[in-house]
Amino acid sequence: MNSPYPSTLLENAVNEFARLPGIGRKSSLRLVLHLLRQDEESVARFVESILRLTQEVKYCSSCHNISDTEVCSICADKTRDKAVVCVVENIKEVMAIEKTVQFNGLYHVLGGIISPIDGIGPSDLEIASLEERVKSGGIREVILALSATMEGDTTNFYIFRKLQTYNVKVSIIARGVSIGDEIEYADEVTLGRSILNRTPFDESYKLLSK
Amino acid sequence: MNSPYPSTLLENAVNEFARLPGIGRKSSLRLVLHLLRQDEESVARFVESILRLTQEVKYCSSCHNISDTEVCSICADKTRDKAVVCVVENIKEVMAIEKTVQFNGLYHVLGGIISPIDGIGPSDLEIASLEERVKSGGIREVILALSATMEGDTTNFYIFRKLQTYNVKVSIIARGVSIGDEIEYADEVTLGRSILNRTPFDESYKLLSK
């Protein structure tokens, strides 16, 4: 017995699951054996949900977020402020910001960030379409909400330079000490940044109590 | 926006993945977005591996382990001792024991253990077929290798009583202090058991050096 798996069908399924991010061979086997115990209908439903998503998925023609419709529900929402556009890396960040209930503008989903190591350049991202959106007018402010990493910073600077020629305010989300964190344990870069970017006390307090 | 997901296709896929054991909604979204980034071919391969396994899987007619063939490769192996049968809960335990390279007999896969809470009784498991195997002769020893839990013990006793009427030795894998464990930190039930089940020193040592 060369392979530890008693069946090549089983081994193939385990290999496929183990390709998913964060799934090792042990969890993969557990997941596969779980599916094997399900009835045919459940497995069919599982498989169909994947196939339908990957084959029928649409992206909003305006903000490029995943959507069921040509224009996503956020872009189509008449109560939202169309003059403010928040630039994010992916749909996960849209969901995270929506959860805060602190933002009432629209989004622009880049589909990634500039990362030379991974071979991702500006042309692989929805940056030209962001410029198009700004150029066509009606946008007052673009908020950059990318990760506070080197790749995020590179992308921020690239976008900032592209948008500088237009009459639009470009802002970036605050970087500082996380709420609930003890100053003693905050890393020095974050702490330094939080001092440089300090906010008038009453203003900060007003924002929180809103 | 009632649902946090911008697309029902996405939501369905996330729901399906989140049904898998040990996968929360956050990991589920990560896995689904990963699949969404793959090309059509990779997704098709993933889906097919699941469908083929669940639709075409076979179980060995003798030991009930998952197999590609009517009789599994372990049961068909002429170099293995057919007179010794190790009773295990599932295929994962077969793989674990095979990895030790300490067992050269055959297996009998129950497909679970007796668990009244989960509604699993003796008739849901491959216990009758084990009795059949013993009854038809040629088996000298049955080794019980089930989990050291209450359910495992219940199943052990049930099988032991069923096999008592036949001329077969029924043994159980040793329970004791794990190798590498410090006595100080071993739980008292295990430690007590390891004293009751103590082995002659030279015998234990002989086994290890084999």
- Render pLDDT for A98-157 as a digit per residue (tens, 0 to 9): 888 889 999 999 999 999 898 999 999 999 999 999 999 899 999 999 988 889 989 999
Chain A residues whose CB is inside 8 A of the B56 CB are 9
Query: Is the model's pLDDT at A169 over the cut of 60?
Result: yes
Q: For chain A, what are the domain ranges?
A: 8-56, 72-173
- Which of A176-185, B45-54, B93-102, B168-177 reaches the highest mean pLDDT? B45-54
Counted across chains A and B, CB pairs separated by less than 8 A come out at 169
Q: Tell me whether strands B58-59 and B66-67 are parallel, antiparallel or unpaired.
A: antiparallel
Question: Do A81 and A107 meet the contact criterion of CB atoms below 8 Å apart?
Answer: no
CA-based angle B7:A61:B40, to the nearest 5?
Answer: 60
CATH of B8-56 given 2.40.50.140, 3.40.50.720, 2.60.40.1180, 1.10.8.420: 1.10.8.420
Q: What is the mean pLDDT of chain B?
A: 89
Query: Is the model's pLDDT at B28 over the cut of 60?
Result: yes
Query: Is the model's pLDDT at B201 over the cut of 70?
Result: no
Which of these, A56, A64, A7, lies nearest to B53 by C-alpha position?
A: A7
Mean local confidence (pLDDT), A2-21: 89
Mean local confidence (pLDDT), B142-165: 91
Query: Is the model's pLDDT at A16 over the cut of 90?
Result: yes
Determine the Cα–Cα distance for residues A179 and B206; give it in Å rounded to an integer.
61
Query: Is the model's pLDDT at A201 over the cut of 70?
Result: no
Band (B202; pLDDT cuts 50, 70, 90): low
> Min CA distance, A129 vs chain B (Å)?
20
Give pLDDT tens digits for A130-144: 999 999 989 999 999
Band (B1; pLDDT cuts 50, 70, 90): very low
Beta bridge partners of A120: A115
Band (A205; pLDDT cuts 50, 70, 90): low
b or e along B131-156 (b: 16 or more beta carbons within 10 Å of the residue's beta carbon)? eebbeeeebeebbbbbeeeebbbbbb
Band (A1; pLDDT cuts 50, 70, 90): very low
Distances (CA, A) of B208 to A142, B80, B119, B127, B192: 69, 21, 40, 32, 22
Yes or no: domain B80-173 corresponds to CATH 3.40.1360.10: yes
Query: Is the model's pLDDT at A47 over the cut of 60?
Result: yes
> Min CA distance, B142 vs chain A (Å)?
21
Which of these, A132, A125, A84, A78, lies nearest to A106 by C-alpha position?
A: A84
Minimum-distance CB partner of A12 among B22, B49, B74:
B49
AA letter at A79:
T
Mean local confidence (pLDDT), B80-106: 92
What kind of architecture, by CATH, is found in domain A72-173?
3-Layer(aba) Sandwich (3.40)
Beta bridge partners of B148: none
Band (A44; pLDDT cuts 50, 70, 90): very high
Q: Tell me whether strands A81-88 and B58-59 are parallel, antiparallel or unpaired.
A: unpaired
Mean local confidence (pLDDT), B45-62: 93
Q: Which residue has the higher pLDDT, A83 or B202?
A: A83
Neighbours of A106 (CB within 10 A): 22
**Lowest-confidence pick of A175-179, A201-205, B79-83, B99-103:** A201-205
Query: Is the model's pLDDT at B45 over the cut of 70?
Result: yes
Distances (CA, A) of B143 to B156, B160, B173, B204: 10, 10, 7, 18
CB contact under 8 A, B22 and A30: yes
Query: Is the model's pLDDT at B208 over the cut of 60?
Result: no
CB contact under 8 A, B95 and A9: no
Minimum-distance CB partner of B31 among A6, A20, A66:
A20
CA-based angle B8:A124:A18, to the nearest 5?
Answer: 60
Mean local confidence (pLDDT), B104-118: 93
CB contact under 8 A, B50 and A40: no
Mean local confidence (pLDDT), A146-169: 91
Band (B193; pLDDT cuts 50, 70, 90): confident
CB contact under 8 A, B50 and A43: yes
- Minimal Cα distance from B63: which residue of A? A6
Q: Tell me whether strands A66-67 and A58-59 are parallel, antiparallel or unpaired.
A: antiparallel
